[in-house]
């Protein structure tokens, strides 16, 4: 994204003399013959699966055209702008994350190579030479708020109050058609319910705002970390997943979704513990129990 373009509302400013090393932290480890980066921040399989097909439908929906044996073909534009996947290019070099590739998946966490089978593309500057990824002079701004988030936040609030009104459709479609080059909601799904629109908005936020530090706070405020509304395991109580790709004897590829590690989120984790030193400053705080926050002796529940 070009610095200070018309969509940027509030951004931390960077320049060559006051920059960052974001490519060194997020980029592919090997770029050609250069050991360029650490690859610290990697897309998960769950994020990859949220990107629609180019016809606007999610990969798990009827009529999407998704092929699990060729999973990176025919996806929406934002997928290719956000994810470095096996056999894609970065800085003019082919990146292969398959077993035996130049950036092969590392399930054992013994090196910097990707653990999920993916690297992030979004937020990185492809014009920057790989030999300079750690020079602290990467100058793309850090976006805090931009117009697409305003549209999605408005659509979410309006949908919760009044359902999928035309204003909601207009706001969501503005993001889908501009960012993902996708057909509008009605063109894709016809008439949708409030609940269906909520799911669409949630998916749009995850895809559109990926790697912009929004997802964690969305998970918390939607209360889907511990469990989902239907009672199934929440987002943070599901295994972290990636994609392992191996070559068959005939040269074709086998794609296997793998579980990398389990995660645990307890109900108390929606709130941080109140430091005991803060409670001790006022004896009245320590007397507080119950109430809307279910305090115990001035402390958040579970701590």
Whole-number average pLDDT of the chain: 92
Cβ–Cβ contacts within 10 Å for residue 120, how many? Answer: 23
- pTM, 2 dp: 0.92
Q: What does the pLDDT read at residue 1?
A: 64
Let me know how long the chain is: 303
* pLDDT band with cut points at 50, 70 and 90 for residue 280: confident
Q: Please state the domain extents for the chain.
A: 20-138+223-270, 144-207, 274-303
* pLDDT band with cut points at 50, 70 and 90 for residue 237: very high
What does the pLDDT average to over 231-249? Answer: 97
Quote the CA–CA distance of 189 and 181 in Å, as a whole number. Answer: 16
DSSP, residue by residue, 9-22: EEEE--BTTB-B-H
pLDDT digits (tens, 9 = 90+) for 201-226: 999 999 999 999 999 999 999 999 99
pLDDT digits (tens, 9 = 90+) for 55-96: 999 999 999 999 999 999 999 999 999 999 999 999 999 999
Q: Is the pLDDT of residue 291 over 80?
A: no
* pLDDT band with cut points at 50, 70 and 90 for residue 298: confident
* pLDDT band with cut points at 50, 70 and 90 for residue 288: confident
Q: Residue 156, exposed/middle/buried by CB under 10 A (0-12, 13-18, 19+)? A: buried
- 109: CB partners within 8 A, 6+ apart: 115
pLDDT digits (tens, 9 = 90+) for 149-198: 999 999 999 999 999 999 999 999 999 998 768 999 999 999 999 999 99
3-state secondary structure of 94: strand
Q: Is the pLDDT of residue 282 over 90?
A: no
């Amino acid at each position: 994204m070009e610095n200070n373009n018309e969509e940027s509302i509030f951004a931390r400013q960077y320049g060559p003399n006051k920059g960052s090393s974001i490519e060194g932290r997020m980029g592919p480890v090997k770029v050609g013959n250069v050991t360029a980066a650490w690859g610290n921040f990697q897309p998960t399989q769950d994020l990859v699966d949220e990107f629609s097909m180019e016809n606007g439908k999610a990969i798990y929906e009827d009529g999407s055209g998704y092929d699990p044996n060729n999973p990176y073909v025919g996806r929406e534009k934002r997928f290719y702008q956000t994810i470095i996947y096996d056999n894609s290019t970065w800085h003019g070099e082919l990146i292969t994350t398959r077993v035996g590739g130049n950036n092969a998946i590392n399930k054992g966490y013994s090196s910097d190579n990707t653990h999920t089978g993916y690297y992030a593309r979004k937020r990185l500057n492809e014009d920057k030479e790989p030999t300079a990824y750690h020079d602290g002079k990467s100058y793309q701004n850090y976006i805090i708020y931009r117009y697409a988030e305003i549209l999605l936040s408005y659509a979410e609030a309006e949908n919760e109050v009044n359902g999928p009104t035309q204003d909601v459709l207009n706001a969501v479609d503005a993001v889908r058609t501009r960012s993902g080059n996708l057909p509008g909601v009605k063109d894709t799904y016809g008439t949708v319910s409030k609940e269906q629109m909520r799911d669409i908005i949630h998916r749009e936020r995850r895809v559109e705002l990926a790697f912009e530090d929004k997802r964690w706070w969305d998970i918390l405020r939607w209360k889907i970390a511990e469990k989902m509304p239907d009672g199934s395991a929440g987002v943070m109580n599901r295994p972290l997943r990636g994609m392992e790709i191996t070559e068959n004897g005939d040269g074709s590829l086998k794609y296997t979704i793998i579980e990398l590690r389990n995660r645990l989120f307890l109900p108390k984790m929606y709130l941080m513990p109140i430091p005991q030193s803060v409670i001790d400053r006022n004896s009245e705080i320590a007397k507080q129990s119950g109430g809307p926050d279910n305090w115990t002796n001035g402390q958040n529940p579970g701590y």
